Structure 1
Amino acid sequence: MLTLDKIYHAAFVLKDVARKTDLIEAPRLASDCQIYLKTENLQATGSFKVRGAYYKISQLSAEERAKGVIACSAGNHAQGVALAATRMGIKSIVCMPDGAPIMKVESTKHLGAEVCLVPGTYDDAHDKAVELQAETGMTFIHPYDDELVIAGQGTIGLEILDQLPDLDAVIVPIGGGGLISGVAFAIKSLRPEVKVYGVQSAGAPSMYLSLLEHKYQTLATASTFADGIQVKTPGELTYELCEKYVDQVVTVSEDETAAAILSLMENQKLVAEGAGAVSVAAALFHKLPLEGKKVVCLVSGGNIDVNILNRVITRGLVMSGRKANLMIALEDKPGQLTLVSKIVAQCGGNVVSVQYDGSDPNMPIASCFLKLGLETRDAAQIEQIRAELTKAGFQLVTERA
């Protein structure tokens, strides 16, 4: 059984291993509530996962340690297990989906684990890890559905209450549910009036649907760039804990997550991975009743794949109205581009790309499509530019991200 004593014991064991990460106020992120960020993206290994992994492995018997440990992970739990096992002189094998970010794979190897790449998703890696565990007799370190792992993650809840005693709510990312189970148990045990909210990606809403229908279930597919929470099957233990201690779970889109990553970079100078930013996305896009509240957003990790960072930033710019593409059907004659550029400039926008397309067979031969890439301040400025262009007689055909 998970108890508060276990969470306090985990905090004692972890005091020289896991950082007590900063809780920082983020006044520029929202105007309707007071947001604080629990910066687990700055934790050792760049994620909260080291807490649960280290505490679980620290409680193994001498015989279990001698046989070694095995785990499955999309990357963050892998690094936590590798760090913990190496520090304790224990052999570790980690099964990871072959699509896991290269940075996470290499970091896991660097921390001392043997990595087994498995074709498919996290759930395929899990099946392979279970198979290898049966063959080797190594101890399986589950990433979320284990009371000792949950107790380790629950130490974050203790820290939040210590750092901000008068908080009203905490928002926590959910993949398999280990993080929110520990945090919710700790907070509700000590301060039951504090609201605990969970957030999942709309493309992987396993816990969201399970709690909505009050029935444990597995998704047919899970798809999100937030690989840390791309889980088709939530934990059975974590589902029970969430049913009891979590007030509400919501989902956010890929674009909303990208906008949250961009906002954290620009306003807080923090790098968060998709899984770590969903809590902020829920606050930014008003998914929860937070008006006038002191709210802690748990930024669970910062191990974003740099190969997709540019795309994420671009999507974030589009979502927040900072980047737009306009297409105008116009008569191909001198002065048209000058007039369009003047209107955009008068509205305060900036033209960053221009493309003429006169090849469309549905257009008159003397006409063309003018495609503009714009840098803008927000969505209202985009609408102002569109309105002024239309007022000047230009035909706006479409607007694409």
Structure 2
Amino acid sequence: MKSHHATGAADDTVLFHTTGRTGTITLNRPRALNALTHPMVLRIEEALLAWASDPAVERILIRGAGDRGLCAGGDIRAIHDDAKAGTSASAAFWRDEYRLNALIARYPKPYVALMDGIVMGGGVGVSAHGSVRIVTERSRIAMPETGIGFVPDVGGTHLLGRAPGLLGTHLALTGSAVGAADALLCGLADHFVPAALLPELADALAEEPAHEVLPRYAATPAPGELAARRPWIDRCYAADTVEEIVERLLAEGDPAAKETAETILAKSPTALKVTLAAVRRARTLATLEEVLAQEYRTSCHALRSPDLVEGIRAQVIDKDRTPRWSPSDLREVSDEAVAAFFAPLGPGRELRPAGASAPDSGPGPGSGQR
């Protein structure tokens, strides 16, 4: 086993080592559910760029320390403090994080992500763009941003916009977490492997390609929920507006549809409308890089929105779970207010082409290249 020493290697929040032919990234903040910080993002990018040109490394493996999850997202408290202070540290973090997401998607070597346990927000960004995405019976995958007054990012609108039917729109608005079977159905993962077999799988990957290893470990997960619900999901989410989506859900007569409507109505009205627009716009964009540039705009504009500070306060800081959204009603969110989230940021402030300094295009998510 050989360690990889990236810049700031004294920081043990992310660990790098090579075992056999595999370069392994371990997110190492188990007490914080391996939430990403800006230094972690920079160090992962540096390691990936070094390994891309290292002939001794044939594949990448990313996993999380501990047994609770790969990664619960970004450092939400830091974003709250930044938004409250009116500073721009979060914009700098997102710029580098989104560049990393693009690098992962176009990485020239197989990128194997162990999406065990909780995988949310930024955790999706460092895993679901990989070429080999593995879930377990413990996986809970979500883009829960609307619940904190934010909009799905890290390429989430790209992934969800390409899910079958309107399943991705459903997940984007509700922020609901899905298990293994539904992650496979939605195109967020490629293989199911029982959690108990992951250590053995990782050992095997040290010497063998993933396409040779996976048939020995892959299995069929327990049934999910979304396949049976897709008929009413596709009907309801085809409506033009969030208000109409909620109306259709309430009219379905299915208890699960009614519960979904109530879930949506608890989210930030502004974030809901921007999210619906973002997912629909993402479907029309040709590349992940274009979607990330759009998400960078919505994220930077959200940083100045009162709902982001209030949502994080209610869910993470005070934990009273009673956010006071502004405005508080979907009907009060104008088309102009939504459009403002997609407005140009100004000269020198846009996200430059993601991964511009990265290696040539690689396999991309779910491509089958191993």
Give the TM-score normalised by structure 2.
0.25
**Larger relative contact order, structure 1 or 2 (CA cutoff 8 Å, min sep 6):** 2
Q: Would you tell me which structure has more strand in proportion to its own residues?
A: 1
Bigger radius of gyration among the two: 1
